Amino acid sequence: MTCFKTALLALCLTLPTMVWAKPPLRDVPEIDNELYFIAIANEIDKYCDSISGRRLKAIGVIWDLKSKANALGYSDREIRAYVDSDTEKARMRRKGEAYLAQNGVSYDQPETFCVLGRSEIDRNSAVGVYLRAR
């Protein structure tokens, strides 16, 4: 009977943790996807001279994302660890480079960033809202 009581006690102590466990921020689409869109827009801004990034809009959205993450129970420390993680930065870069390549962008041809950027702006896409044609 003692083993049963010990197992039951262990289950009772770990169950709340299992129920309240938060997924990694990379698995929270409303946070991760928006940061991805901002990253794509930033890359277009960096390589295309005729398009600029809407930095103030991006900064405002980033602050809103931080508030959302806090409301979902993530601490400032957890948020900072996600944003500063080399692993997450590399993952986001791979994902972004794949998107750019799928859309005909080549780092050897900066004008391809402009073509994609103008298309994103014209469509008022999730990326395009962070861009402005000069």
Give the residue from 35, 43, 80 showing the smallest Cα distance to 59.
Answer: 35
Residue 28 to residue 2: CA distance in whole angstroms: 41
- Tell me, yes or no, if the pTM score tops 0.85: no
* Other Cβ atoms within 10 Å of 68 Cβ, number: 14
Amino acid at 130: Y
Residue 1 to residue 117: CA distance in whole angstroms: 68
- Each residue's pLDDT expressed in tens, for the chain with a length of 134 residues: 555 455 445 555 555 444 468 999 999 999 999 999 999 999 999 999 999 999 999 999 999 999 999 999 999 999 999 999 999 999 999 999 999 999 999 999 999 999 999 999 999 999 999 999 98
